[in-house]
Amino acid sequence: MVASEHGTGPGGSTDLLRVLPPEEKPSPRAPWVAVIRRLGVRHRGRIARHLQALDERDRYLRFGYMATDAQIQSYVDSLDFERDAIFGIYNRRLELVAMAHVAFSVDRNFDACAEFGVSVLPSVRGHGYGTKLFARAMRHARNEGVQLMFIHALSENAAMINIARHAGATVEHDGSEASAYLRLPPATFDSRVGEMLAEQLAQTDYRLKVQARQFWKFISGLQEVRRGVREARHKSAP
């Protein structure tokens, strides 16, 4: 796991606390519908590629220092998909463009606490994906019995701090760092059913994207074959 020199939270993992500004630069392109799905072990490679696609500044904001590719890979390798919850947003090309990590406390003294970290690629910022991931994370956390959600970020990360504030979190600044905590309401029947339906929708959306990508690959292959046949005929014509 990536080490950080900025201290640990109740979950015992500091690198999860560094968050990127999800909405720094609005994009002129119309966004696709952001469907959030929970990620598992088989998504580990895509998570690594997502984080390694971040530039130096984004890596600094996410991890608290200029994490190298090797350090990012170590962090990804250490992800505990059984204990924690990792959520992601895929685009139509099945690229992971945004992800959030909800790390549940491993300390029994803080078993009703969780930490939140998020990253969004620059190409899709300005569409509220960070806010949507935070809302999804909060719903899951409350359904798991979490009472306090924590966020630690650099004070310069105004976008993430604003997301926390708009959700009702209390934000405290300490020099170059900011900490936010949000009290979550108890789980309800509606919150549990809502999460279940959201995950079913996300699974269906992902399968449709996979099928669409496979179909267009098939069509592209046919076009290549037809192009080859035409070229062969042209060369063999007298």
Q: What is the mean pLDDT of each run of 10 residues along the chain (238 residues)?
A: 37 44 50 79 95 93 89 96 94 91 80 88 91 93 90 83 85 85 84 77 68 62 58 58
Identify the pLDDT of residue 188: 84
pTM (whole model) above 0.85:
no
Q: How far apart are CA 120 and CA 200, in angstroms?
A: 23
Q: Which structure tokens are listed for 186? A: 């108890």
The pLDDT of residue 157 is 82
Give the span between the Cα atoms of 27 and 104, in whole angstroms: 33
Supply 142's token pair: 């409350």
Residue 118: C-alpha distances to residues 87, 163, 187 (Å): 9, 11, 23
Question: What is the tally of helices (H) and strands (E) in the chain?
Answer: 6, 7
> Which domains are present in the chain?
14-236 (3.40.630.30)
Quote the pLDDT of residue 6.
37
pLDDT of residue 49: 96
